[in-house]
Structure 1
Amino acid sequence: MTWLAALLSDLYPWTKTLHVISVISWMAGIFYLPRLYVYHAERVSQGIPEAEEMFRTMERKLLRGIMNPAMIATWLFGLCLVFTPGIIDWSMAWPWTKAASVLGMTWFHHWLSARRKEFALGQNRRPGRTYRLMNEVPTLLMVLIVASVIVKF
């Protein structure tokens, strides 16, 4: 066993702990930001100008202060788990369904980021309903990720 494999094996409980904490933080933001977009789109369309700056600030702080660091930490600790010897059996389907779902979640994160930039520039053209529907995407991906890891289908 190489020194890196030994280190990853020794740190496995801590790596897994930090991965789960990161995922929880990322998911909290990924569920909340589309909801902010719903309210932002609806309040601005109602002509409430003071709401605009408040929503822009909340969205920016949530994305940059919580979601981006949490996504990076999730990926970092997740990759450490992937490279820990004996943790993943790549001949099974579950690591592949989880990986695809995590890539989908990352795409959704970037989609949300692009929408924040539109809101910041006053260029949002999507109604609140769009964000309500898109808010279901992370729920479906989360179900796939959790089922993949726990059921290991």
Structure 2
Amino acid sequence: MDTLYLGVKTLHIIFIASWFAGLFYLPRILVNLAMVAPDSHAERERLLLMARKLQRFATLLMVVALASGLWLWLGYSVWRGPGNGWLHAKLALVVAVIGFHHVNARLLRQFEHAANRRSHVWFRVYNEVSVLLFAAIVTLVVFKPF
């Protein structure tokens, strides 16, 4: 195998895992924000600061993860050949993950503007979306079912 290919693939896996760490944790911060008492300004500001920093960092991780994935896809023609239906399904899920990332940013902006109307229970359920997306993507990559 080409050393550059393996290096890019390694970089891609590292940044995907790191990006998902942010996608796992930011909704958890949103759960905590939804539970903050209205008169607890210091706690709210601390959680908002944490969430903002994590969202910015996760965005940088996303950019590198997507760039390295695009490099693999276009530069090494990993999409060509028979039996690559799993890759198309994976790419559809990647689009969903990007959407989830942007929904996180929108939800954070709602908290920043004191416009959140969802309960902590809703955020607890929402928190599981990233886990389901991650599990589906890993399953497709490992098993390549079609």
TM-score, normalisation: structure 2: 0.91
- Counterpart in the other structure of 1:32: 25
Q: Distance in 2 between matches of 1:24 and 1:68?
A: 13
Separation in 2 of the partners of 1:89 and 1:134? 35
Q: 2:75 matched to which residue of 1? A: 84
Asked if the contact 2:5–2:76 (Cα under 8 Å) also holds between the matched residues in 1, the reply is no
Structure 1 unpaired stretches of 5+ = 1-8
Residue deviations 1:5-24 (CA, integer Å, cap 9, x gap): xxxx5521111111111111
Report Cα offsets for 1:35-61 as digits up to 9, x if no partner. 00001110135x322111101100100
Q: Quote the offset at 1:90 in angstroms.
A: 5.5
Q: Which amino acid aligns with 2:30?
A: Y
Matched, 1:149 2:141: yes
Q: Give the TM-score taking structure 1 as reference length.
A: 0.87
Q: Percent identity?
A: 34
Distance 1:88 1:50, change over 3 A: same
By how many angstroms is 1:148 displaced? Answer: 1.0
1:86 CA displacement: 4.9
Map 1:135-146 onto structure 2 (within 5 A). Answer: 135-146=127-138
**Equivalent residue in structure 2 for 1:117, among 101, 109, 113:** 109
Aligned to 2:60: 69
Report the CA distance between 1:97 and its aligned residue: 1.1
Q: Distance in 2 between matches of 1:90 and 1:73?
A: 26
Contact map agreement 1:39 1:128 (CA 8 A) in 2: yes
Q: Which is worse superposed, 16-25 or 83-92?
A: 83-92
Q: Which stretches of structure 1, 4 residues or more, deviate above 2 A after TM superposition?
A: 84-92
Amino acid at match of 1:117: R
Unpaired stretches in structure 2, ≥5 consecutive residues = none
CA contact (8 A) 1:89 1:95 kept: no
- Asked if the contact 1:101–1:145 (Cα under 8 Å) also holds between the matched residues in 2, the reply is yes
